[in-house]
Structure 1
Amino acid sequence: MEAIKQYDAKVDGKNRVTLRGAQYEYYNVKEYDNGCYLLEPRELAVPEEISARTLRDMDKAVNNLKAGKVPAPIDLSDF
């Protein structure tokens, strides 16, 4: 694999390194015992996956709907 960008970086007073022209906002960082760091771009949420908590809440909402535990309709005619 060939490097497309190479530059020297310095750790600042708060042990931070600035990535120039970073394409992503979040990275997963892996530190190896040989001193190498691997940064992989990350998204905060995986769009294809629904959490167990959300599925549980959806099941509860459907059960409430089937049992007739629903609020009165909201009047949206003013909008």
Structure 2
Amino acid sequence: MKGKVKWFSSKKGYGFIDCEDGRSIFVHYTDIQSDGYKTLNEGDEVTFDIQETEKGPKAINVVTTKRSQKKSRSRRG
């Protein structure tokens, strides 16, 4: 699946990705595939898989394919 990061709070370690199918999917920092500090920036283009959980769908195996020019904002906390 492809999408764009809607928002991500580095402080809280989670955010949401807008999918190409129109859904907003929860993402947790532990599901980001990168070395070092795991974070996402608003507007980053990503690929990911979707896992159904009791709380709803969540993004897993998240890989940034294109970094946004925007800096990550600490949103919602």
Normalised by the shorter chain, which TM-score bucket? under 0.3
**Relative CO higher for 1 or 2, CA cutoff 8 Å, sep ≥ 6?**
2
User: Which structure is higher in strand share?
Assistant: 2
- TM-score, reference length from structure 1: 0.24
User: Which structure is higher in helix share?
Assistant: 1
Give the structure with higher Rg (CA): 1
- TM-score, reference length from structure 2: 0.25
